[in-house]
Structure 1
């Protein structure tokens, strides 16, 4: 209830506004009636004080100080009953009230302050009851739309019709999720231009906001002016979405209530959707982790389960992985290693990757494995042009992550997977490329797996010669189906990929380092070669590459 509404109360029909008329829009939430000398200590913001000025009858000039203190405290106004203890309100008081836009009401001597107070409080209560009823009805209406499966777009349309004003819904990345323009609104408005202007304005606002914010979009060049009210609301965790109304609604409590209820319902719906997405993402990550680790032996199972995530049998892929540089230092600095905030930060990087990829690549696949963000990008061929295209896309994503989240992220690009069973190998090559970049003490880099040049050269050698070299080098380990020898060749391959580091090999294979040492000794016995000789290890590495080509 505003001061202007107070003046319409029946018992104040003979009262008049003595000063501070510009402040009649002040909100009145309660009424107090007191004549104590230290009354200012008992007043609250948005409170209207009714008084006979008995405490100041001997010193009316003290009213000046009271008015200043009440205005500073955010009180609604001051009602003074004159002709009893105070013959008239001093001119100095009226001047100060006008300067501060603080309303002063002159109440006639025959009025009963107690009855006026009760009358005003009844009006405030009645107004609050109407607002509560309206809020409940509006909330129920919006909730029913969600329960009927009509989505957040229907809420925006309903809100727009209810307020007779255009309404836009933006998520925390400022993507436009829904918009509605009433029929009476000018059809000539450039909606795309409007959205872009609002988006740019929000970027300059504080990261976290509370309550309504009204401003104007203005352009002298285009003779353009549009009032905007922004209402931020929590989508989930610490991220905010925005309801945008193309009008100023702060003076209309029912419009504010309608926006608040819409924001509440949309916020809860987003939280529900986010929980479902997290569950689906966890199942997806588990499937791809099993796939990359070789825990799914059946190609048919890979095809059947992978189809749900967009994995296509005949589609070649390039594997790209990303990792936060020096993540432990970053987490310690930003989040003091609080697990929940670290998880939310990773989620934001995932969503940013998802958002950027969805706008530029069709049928991509994104998931996480440990600390890696893994992307499978579909391409028909893998040549220099393709590589440059992939690097350009990743560079743009890398810069966007750094600009948006101030996070340094590096990328490793694996080789070309012609068939689904080749994808785990491509993932290993991508991790090797990433590891190579880190070993070179680089950060925020993009590293491509470079063995493909050697592969291309080997393809030029006749098949018969390649097969002979392969068999002569690996001897009994070549094409063996024996389980023990398969373990030996796997251990040898991982050992060579990890630059002959036993500890790293054991870690990657999840076995004890003594087991690694034992298997390597067995390999030396079978092959008749020393794994300490650089020339022999180079020969073995080439033989393993040849094996992948046969």
Structure 2
């Protein structure tokens, strides 16, 4: 994919000179938009280049600075100022803002035509649409081929703004429905993460959007990650009428060889959130007892534990065509509330009490005992993990 760096280093854009925001050349370029009024900035999309001649701006320079700041807030890739009769020079305040925020500003002299710039940019985007960007290649190799490319990856990450010894983590996003495409949500997710993180790398892999983030480059450290995810979920639900994606984050790791572990952790979160239809499970460190169970090497031990607890229920259900295993799950999910179980299953409260008494008899356990509930809950966790390994 095309980036600002490729525009600077290539030969297609002799009309452009990068005058500020040199540390922002990692930004992707997916489009271009001519904006001659502050009111029109609302139509810009993330990763577009914005071009202006200043024809409708006031001559005091404040309007241009305001336009640049608004464009930056829209997460555009960079800003091209066509200097001439309407903007003789780029104000120092614009240069300072761009350098402070790593926001690329290009100067284009008046003798170059915007029509030619648009044509060249469209060709540039088309030529780079299918190829992996440097950022995507680095992240791909970091996750799947680190040992073979360790030194190269370390050097490239440093150039991309991820110095060594930083705490890095992976966020994975995918759809609930395997037939749905995550691409339709890419702009929305990326916009949210651009507000959250100063810098990140992104990779599309097997209908997953994968983001590499740096703990030291969080713009909103006082806002929980869960709130960012919920805002994304709410926007998608408002748009579709239903929620069709799931987002999971792995732990932060200092060692680059462990970033793959963070990726696997993010996938575990997604798997468990799908399994339990739990949109409120976001981070690997929040998966609780699952983490302990998955760390147990003795598979025979955990299988026997689950069988000892649930085996009698399964046996009875099979012989009598009952549903006591599923009912036990619902009992735990509703925290033992007979009222909520009754409402959820549309059955009388007396039927709920009868079923609970039958389960206690079959298990020879007291379901009002917290220790019994814990054992039953762990047995189901083990069953879920074994079923999806």
Q: Greater CA radius of gyration, 1 or 2?
A: 1
Structure with the bigger RCO (C-alpha within 8 Å, sep 6+) is 2
TM-score, normalisation: structure 1: 0.33
Between Structure 1 and Structure 2, the one with more strand by share is: 1
TM-score, normalisation: structure 2: 0.45
